[in-house]
């Protein structure tokens, strides 16, 4: 069994990779790594390492956001690690973006370019408005999770 990828504060994005062996590509710091596990498997493993199931995290997001689709996942909330899907997780085009790594984003042609805080960036196959809505939903989730801390 190949070791699973551990999401850290340096993880910027996790992409689907359609390959016979590698199932995902991870952007971490200055490096891009291919991995044998699918993004959802990586998320599932990391949620379990941090005290909850992926389904539990999804249920919390679903209840908080009053929506069953394209749910952001609070992977490690105490470290500020929230992964945002750019589209349906079932889609090969889905990219999981780490919320706090995003500096800004803008539409270019029929895609959106994400600028990361470290000066790097990537294209995602969604409109700017779709990504913007996902970022707002994630901000709402973060506010709800942190509410007991502040009030």
Task: Kindly state the average pLDDT of the residues 119-131.
Answer: 96
Asked if the model's pLDDT at residue 124 lies above 90, the reply is yes
In the predicted model, what is the mean pLDDT of residues 18-42? Answer: 95
**Model pLDDT, residue 151:** 66
- Cα–Cα distance for residue pair 140/145, rounded to 1 Å: 9
Mean pLDDT of 113-131: 97
Mean of all residue pLDDT scores within the chain: 95
Q: Quickly state the pLDDT bin for 2 (edges 50, 70, 90).
A: low
pLDDT score for 1: 52
pLDDT for 57: 97
pLDDT at 76 over 90: yes
The predicted structure's pLDDT at residue 149: 75
Residue written as token pair 């990361």: 116
The answer to whether the CB of 28 falls within 8 A of the CB of 12 is: yes
Reported as a pLDDT band with limits 50, 70 and 90, residue 150 is low
**45 Cβ contact partners less than 8 Å away, ≥ 6 residues apart:** 4, 5, 37
Percent of the chain at pLDDT exceeding 70: 97
Q: What's the pTM value of the predicted model, to 2 decimals?
A: 0.94
């Amino acid at each position: 069994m190949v070791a699973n990828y551990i999401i850290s504060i340096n993880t910027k994005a996790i992409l689907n990779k359609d390959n016979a062996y590698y199932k995902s590509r991870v952007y971490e710091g200055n490096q891009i790594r291919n991995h044998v596990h699918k993004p959802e498997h990586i998320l599932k493993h990391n949620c379990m390492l941090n005290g909850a199931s992926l389904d539990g995290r999804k249920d919390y997001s679903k209840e908080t956001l009053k929506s069953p689709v394209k749910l952001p996942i609070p992977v490690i909330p105490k470290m500020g690690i929230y992964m945002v899907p750019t589209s349906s997780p079932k889609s090969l085009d889905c990219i999981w973006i780490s919320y706090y790594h995003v500096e800004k984003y803008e539409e270019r042609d029929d895609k959106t370019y994400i600028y990361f805080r470290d000066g790097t960036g990537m294209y995602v196959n969604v409109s700017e408005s779709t990504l913007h809505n996902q970022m707002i939903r994630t901000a709402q989730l973060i506010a709800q999770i942190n509410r007991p801390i502040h009030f």
